[in-house]
Amino acid sequence: MVFRLRKSRLQILQLMRITAIALVSILLWNLSGFSFCRQESRLCACLKCLTDSDPWFNYIISEAPKPFMSRKHKTSEEDFNWWKVLQGKKENFTFYNKTLQSVFETITLIADIEEPRPDRCRSCAVVGNSGNLRGSHYGPLIDAHDIVIRINRGRTKGYETDAGTKTTHHVMYPESATRLDNTTNLLFFPFKTPDFLWLLKALNPRENGAPKSNKIANKDLVRILHPAFMKYVHEVWLRRKGAYPSTGFLTVVLSLLMCDEVNVFGFGADSEGNWSHYFEILRNKKLKTGGHPGEEEYKMIDKLHKRKKIFFFKGW
């Protein structure tokens, strides 16, 4: 019994030590790019705001369209024609617009992005699903953020030490769907027109004879990523490499608009070079990143880290 108590205490101390080291690292990293000269105006209350003194970053962010869909921010036919290629089949622009009309009539979408304020620092953790989270002990550090964004089938139960427990926003599309609690914001990434029809059914299960408990998310906390934003990420950030951006990389770029301070966890290959998930046993070591350019995305995330725009926790 005494041995177990000592072991438990040692584990808690180890977690506290890792979290403290990580927090100090972020502080020193932020200070290394912070000017102590008098600053006439600050966009946010962080030690270093994302748009501080970096022409390259400011330009690439200024090119971004509004990220979320709304009645006012409609899809152009040019953006639709780029987006429909992702589906691998012909899609009709008229049918797409009719489907969207049904969405707008049924769901009150959240479309606005909160602007930075000089009295606030919104810290965000973007948590990917890489196997490099295993053994990282990043859990308490992830939970310390104001906003925690998880992606696809990312989970916390049984992985609290490495992945944390907190989720404020969850990214998904139909094939990667997981049921959310009533307080978690759904960030829905559609890749084909039927995805919108799936969303309507998933948010209104009673209309299909299913019990209310089968609802996928709170329909008052839904944002839908705009096809124009996907196109922007593919063309501007990835320079058209790969067939399309991954949900993970789309989320990283999106977080740069949603947050004042961004820290990224669980991206890239594990320590053995395998592209795996922390919650799965890897059986196929030849598994790659599919149609999206994983290596290019990783390089861009690393570039953002080196330019002190984000802090990239690599796990190993």
Active site amino acids: 244, 292
Return d(Cα 61, Cα 222) in angstroms, integer.
Answer: 23
Q: What angle do CA 312, 223, 153 make, to 5 degrees?
A: 55
CA distances from 107 to 23, 25, 142, 173, 193 (A): 39, 42, 31, 17, 16
What lies within 8 Å, CB to CB, of 308 at 6+ separation is 29, 30, 32, 33, 48
Return d(Cα 256, Cα 254) in angstroms, integer.
Answer: 5
Cα 171 to chain centroid distance, Å, stands at: 6
Cα 149 to chain centroid distance, Å, stands at: 5
What lies within 8 Å, CB to CB, of 4 at 6+ separation is none
Return d(Cα 183, Cα 197) in angstroms, integer.
Answer: 23
